[in-house]
Structure 1
C-alpha cells in the first residue's frame, strides 16, 4: 500500500537498528504512552531486536484500559435502566465491571448498541425521541474533539434526549505521574503522535526540562518507532532532555487549532481517576458548566458509585510499566481475551492483549538490566 509499506521497509529498519546499536553505551529504559505503539512494538518484535539493555516499558496508553472501574459501573447502571439506549464503541462491551460487563447487560435485555462514531449515537437520539440515548465518551485527546463536537451539535439542534458519560484523560499529566512515582525507572518517552496532532507539543517542554527526560513525538509504523527510539537514545547518551518531533508529517507545534477550540468550548479540565493507578490531578476532562445538562453522570444521578479493584488483576502495575503482561501469574491461563480479569486483556490496544495475540506467553528468562539514571 502506498505510503504504508515505505514505513515497514526491512532494509531501512536494519539501518536504524545498526545506528541505535552504534549509539548505545549503557542501559536505558524508554516508555511508550500509546497502545497502538505497544502493538506495533510487540507485533514486529521491535523490543527483541534492540541492543541488550535498551528496554521498552509499556505505559498507560490504552484509553479503554485506563477507564476506571467506577466509570464502568456507572455505565452498567445507566445501560440497565428502562428507556435508555446505551451506545459505545465495541471495545468497551467486554471490559469487566465489578460483577458484569455491557455484553451481559445486553443479554439481560438492556438496549446496548455498538456504534462507530458519536454521531451515530446522535442520529439514534434523533430517531428515537422517546428514549434517553447515552454515548460512552472515553479516550485520550484524540477522541475528545469528535465527542465534544457531538455534544455541541446536540445542543445546537435541540436534541435533548442525548447525553454523554465522559471519561476523557490527558497524556501530559500521566507523564508527570509516571515521573514522580517512587518506582519510576523511565528515562525517555515516545510521545503519541496522534495526541500531539490534536494538542501540539506546548505541554511537553516543561516536563522534559523539570524531569530531565527526553520526549520524542513518534508515529505508529515500525520505522516510526525505531526512529523515535534512535532519537531518544541519542539524547540520553548526550545528556540532553528536550522535546523532538519525529512525526512532522502529522504533527505541528500548534496542533489542530479548530479541534482545540472545540475542546475548550465543551470541556473543562478536571482531576480524573485512572484504572489501576488512581486519581491524577488535572488529568481529564468533563463537560463544562454550559453543557452540564448533557452529562449522563448528573442526568442519571450515578455520581456516588464506589468500587474496589479485584485483587488478582495486576493491570494497574502493567499500566504503570511496573510489570510486563507475561509476568502476571494469571496471564494466558485465568486471564484470556475470552475470560478477561481486566481491561488490558480486553482492549485492542491493551498490552496484555498484544502479548496474548502475538504469543508472548512466557515470562522473560531473566530480569532486564537495571537502567542507569540520566546524567
Structure 2
C-alpha cells in the first residue's frame, strides 16, 4: 500500500476484524500508548467494532496531558513577566493552570505567541535581542530532537536571550510504571510508532519479558491499529510476549541515529512528574550541563513553584487507564473544551477531547442511547 487512503480501506479493515474474531477465545485488555492512536480508535469506532472479548484501555500517551500542573504554572509565571516573549505550540494555550491559561496571560498583556517549530522561537530571539524569548519544550521522544537542535543552534549562533522550559517525557518508563501499578489490567501494548521511529525498539524487549506482555509497534491509521490489535491478540492467545514491529514502513530497530546523537548531546535522563500519575523514575529529560545556560526554569527561578491538582478533575485516572472519559461525572457537563478541568479535554491528543469531539457523550448511570448529543 502506497497511499494514506489505502490504510483506511473498509474491506481490508473487515478482513482484519474477521481475523481478530476468529482468533480471540477469552477476554483481553490492551492499551494503546499514544493519544493519536486513541483519536483514530474513537473517530472510526474501532473499539465498538472489536469483539467484546477485546477491550482497549487508553494510555497516557498525550504529552500535553501529562505535563504536570506545576510546569504549566511555571510557564504562566514566565509568560506574564515584562520583557518576555513566550513561544509555544498552539495546543498548550488552552491547558488550564491553577487559575488561568496562556490565552488569559496573553489577554492580560503577555506576549504569548504560537509557533510551529522551536526554530521559529529562535528566529524571534535573534530578531528581538533586547527581549527574553522562551520556548515551551514539551513532548515525548518524537518532538525532543527538533527541540534539542534549537538549543544547539542557539549556542552555536550565540543567541543568549533564548531559553527553553523543558518538560520532555519518555515512554518506556511509563509502561514500566503502568505495569507495576497494583490496579493494572493491561495485558498487551500497542506502542507508538512515531516514538519508535526516533528511538528504535531496543528498550522494549526487556519490558515485554519482565512483565510477560506482548508489545506491538503500530502506526496511526485504522488498518495500522487493527493490525496491531490482531498481532497482540494472536500473541496473547499463544501465550507469547515478544516485541513486534507492525510499522516497518517508518520504524527501524535502531531508530534514527542522527536524532539519537543530538538527544544524547543536549539532554540527560532525569526523574519526571507526570500529571495525574506522579513521579516516574528516569522518565524524562532535562538539559545537560553543556546546555544548562538555556534552561528557562533556572534562568527565571521558577523551579520552586508547587501546586495541587483540582480534586474534581479525574484526568489522572483516565491517563492511567483506570477510567474511560465518559465515566467521569464532569465529562460533557462542567468539563468541556470551553470550560476544561484538565488537559485531556483540550489537547488535540487527549482522550477526553476524543470522546467529546466524536460524540461519545454519556451521563453516568444513563444508557448511551439516552445520552445528550447536542
| TM-score (normalizing by structure 1) | 0.97
Partner of 2:372: none
Structure-to-structure mapping, 1:173-184, within 5 angstroms? 173-184=173-184
> Deviation above 4 Å: which 4+ runs of structure 1?
363-367
Cα distance in 2 for partners of 1:110, 1:168 equals: 24
Partner of 2:74: 74
Structure-to-structure mapping, 1:163-182, within 5 angstroms? 163-182=163-182
Partner of 2:187: 187
Please give the secondary structure, in 2, of the residue aligned with 1:94. Answer: coil
Partner of 2:55: 55
Partner of 1:18: 18
1:75 shift after superposition: 0.1
Structure-to-structure mapping, 1:299-314, within 5 angstroms? 299-314=299-314
CA RMSD of aligned residues (A): 1.3
1:53 shift after superposition: 2.0
Structure 1 residues 366, 59: closer, same or farther in 2, change over 3 A?
farther
Residues 59-105 of structure 1 deviation map (CA, whole Å, 9 limit, x = unaligned):
00001000000000000000010000000000000100011100010
Contact 2:8 2:223 (8 Å CA) reproduced: yes
Partner of 1:370: none
Partner of 2:326: 326
Residues 320-345 of structure 1 deviation map (CA, whole Å, 9 limit, x = unaligned):
00000000000001000011000000
Residues 283-322 of structure 1 deviation map (CA, whole Å, 9 limit, x = unaligned):
0000000100100000000010110000000000000000
Partner of 2:261: 261
Partner of 1:121: 121
Cα distance in 2 for partners of 1:57, 1:134 equals: 36
Structure-to-structure mapping, 1:342-357, within 5 angstroms? 342-357=342-357
Please give the secondary structure, in 1, of the residue aligned with 2:60. Answer: coil
Cα distance in 2 for partners of 1:138, 1:5 equals: 31
Contact 2:25 2:53 (8 Å CA) reproduced: no
Cα distance in 2 for partners of 1:366, 1:49 equals: 22
Contact 2:328 2:364 (8 Å CA) reproduced: no
Please give the secondary structure, in 1, of the residue aligned with 2:38. Answer: helix
Residues 88-137 of structure 1 deviation map (CA, whole Å, 9 limit, x = unaligned):
00000010001110001001100000001000000000000000000000
Cα distance in 1 for partners of 2:140, 2:267 equals: 13
Q: For structure 2, which runs of at least 5 residues remain unmatched after alignment?
A: 368-374
Cα distance in 1 for partners of 2:303, 2:342 equals: 22
Cα distance in 2 for partners of 1:348, 1:294 equals: 28
Please give the secondary structure, in 2, of the residue aligned with 1:183. Answer: coil
Partner of 1:152: 152
1:277 shift after superposition: 0.3
Cα distance in 2 for partners of 1:119, 1:106 equals: 21
Cα distance in 2 for partners of 1:114, 1:188 equals: 37
Partner of 2:229: 229
Structure 1 residues 110, 366: closer, same or farther in 2, change over 3 A?
closer
Please give the secondary structure, in 2, of the residue aligned with 1:185. Answer: coil
Cα distance in 1 for partners of 2:108, 2:366 equals: 46
Partner of 2:286: 286
Partner of 2:243: 243
Partner of 2:36: 36
Partner of 2:199: 199
Partner of 2:370: none
Cα distance in 2 for partners of 1:208, 1:168 equals: 24
Please give the secondary structure, in 2, of the residue aligned with 1:217. Answer: strand
Contact 2:202 2:253 (8 Å CA) reproduced: yes
Query: Number of aligned pairs?
Result: 367
| TM-score (normalizing by structure 2) | 0.97
Please give the secondary structure, in 2, of the residue aligned with 1:228. Answer: helix
1:364 shift after superposition: 8.1
1:362 shift after superposition: 1.5
